[in-house]
Chains A and B, each alone.
Chain A
Amino acid sequence: MCTTCGCSGDGATIEGGDHPHPHGGAEHAQGHSHGHAHDHPHEHPHQHEHEQPHPQGGARLDYGGGPARAHAPGLSQARMVEIERNILSKNDAYAAGNRACFARDGLLALNLLAGPGAGKTTLLVETLKTLQGGIPCSVIEGDQQTSNDADRIRATGTPAIQVNTGKGCHLDAHMVGHAVEHLGVNMGGILFIENVGNLVCPAAFDLGENKRVTLLSVTEGEDKPLKYPDIFEKADMVLLTKTDLLPHLDVNVEDMEANIRRVAPLARILHVSTRNAQGMPQWLDWLMAERRGLLDALAAQAQARADMLRAAE
């Protein structure tokens, strides 16, 4: 059982910890009494359930007065309880905790989403080779099984941690929070989070990322954005990958792009290939610009706060 929060459940394990780290939705719901016992450099970012606002005092509307009143006293009565809560509210609270943690460290966190084999890890490996020495990077790898991808990342000299989701088909914010604790991060760095290869499920789970990057390889066909709109919809950047293969395919890349624009009108689209390096400079420029923008914004916020405190002296 996890000493951080006592969570237990069916599935996810984070490598590198001294304990296997099982996670699960329902079981995790209760029984958080902290004191977190981790000796990690970071405060636990999680906002646990009891710290969340809950519906006004557990507002209860009693619709059930009618027939149930006829029951003999002592017999249980059915009643209606109004809840009005987003089912993903727990994930969203963890995501908010992660986001606050990332902001404190000036960390640009990217959630990379795509179907299996779209080229996420290969893109990361090439990206990390270029950024090496310049910007401190770290990687969280999400897969159902194996630590292959984290091994590939570590081979570049970049710290990486593998999260195996077991049956789970996506990363959630809670897993990412723990992974970050185990990984440790560098101030002003970039955290790449490679989600489980899946065009459907990861879309619904906010991880606390600053930006969402969705990859689609040109081999997957023109219609994928229309078939799986959710994964594109919230993307800030869509990378059309493996463009070196275009001469061998009869895919119409203009149609593909038009379909992406249709479901993600605001996303930037780049054509990239890790084989002939097409689009890699633009991708790296985008990363740099996002990081700079984030650091500037955070610095401006900190400055504004400092000014406010000075003024109050």
Chain B
Amino acid sequence: MHEMSLCESLIGVIEESAQKEGFTKVTRVRVEVGRFAGVEQSAMRFGFEVVARGTLAQGAVLDFVDVPGSAWCFDCGRTVELENRLDPCPICAGTRLQPSGGMEIRLKDMEVI
């Protein structure tokens, strides 16, 4: 649901960059999405298409770069990489884990004209 407002923020960042960098059209946008960022990529793709209409990013291709999730394990005290939020610790099988990485959504780079 909030993918829509994430897309609005994304367009905001793109428009600011356009002013700074002096480009007028964006053809490709690469966004890093952390495994634990709580983002549904298909919803984001849809949202982007809608929100980009009438902006300089209209019709731009949206690419996602997956960033793995990591978490701090309370049982063994280590930071481990996790495939899914609810997976047990791959080292000690503990189940109390606090996500520590892969929570961000970053605009990485763009192809512009």
Contact = CB atoms under 8 A, between A and B. Distances in A.
Contacts of B37: 204
B108 interface: yes
Given A26-B11, A86-B106, A77 B113 contact: yes
Contacts of A60: 21
Contacts of B16: 29-30, 49, 54
A265 interface: yes
Nearest to B98: A265
B21 A169 contact: no
B41 interface: no
B74 interface: yes
Interface residues of A, number: 48
**Residues of A contacting B: mostly:** mixed
Nearest to A52: B16
Interface in A41-100: 49, 54, 58, 60-61, 64, 76-91
A25 interface: yes
A233 interface: yes
Given A24-B8, A169-B2, A78 B111 contact: yes
Interface string B25-55: 1010001000011100000000000010001
Interface stretch (A105-113, A178-186, A195-203, A237-245): A195-203
Interface string A15-30: 0000000001110111
Contacts of A201: 1-2, 5
Nearest to B113: A76
Interface in A154-198: 167-170, 172, 198
Interface residues of B, number: 44
Interface string A135-167: 000000000000000000000000000000001
B20 A25 contact: no
A29 B15 contact: yes
B12 A25 contact: yes
Given A58-B21, A87-B31, A204-B2, 16 more contacts: A29-B11, A80-B110, A81-B17, A81-B21, A81-B110, A84-B106, A87-B106, A88-B6, A88-B105, A169-B1, A169-B5, A203-B38, A204-B37, A204-B38, A205-B2, A262-B95
Interface of A: 24-26, 28-30, 49, 54, 58, 60-61, 64, 76-91, 167-170, 172, 198, 200-201, 203-205, 226, 229-230, 233, 261-263, 265-266
Give 10 closest A-B pairs by Cβ, nearest first.
A25-B8, A201-B2, A29-B12, A265-B96, A58-B20, A26-B11, A82-B109, A87-B105, A76-B113, A230-B38
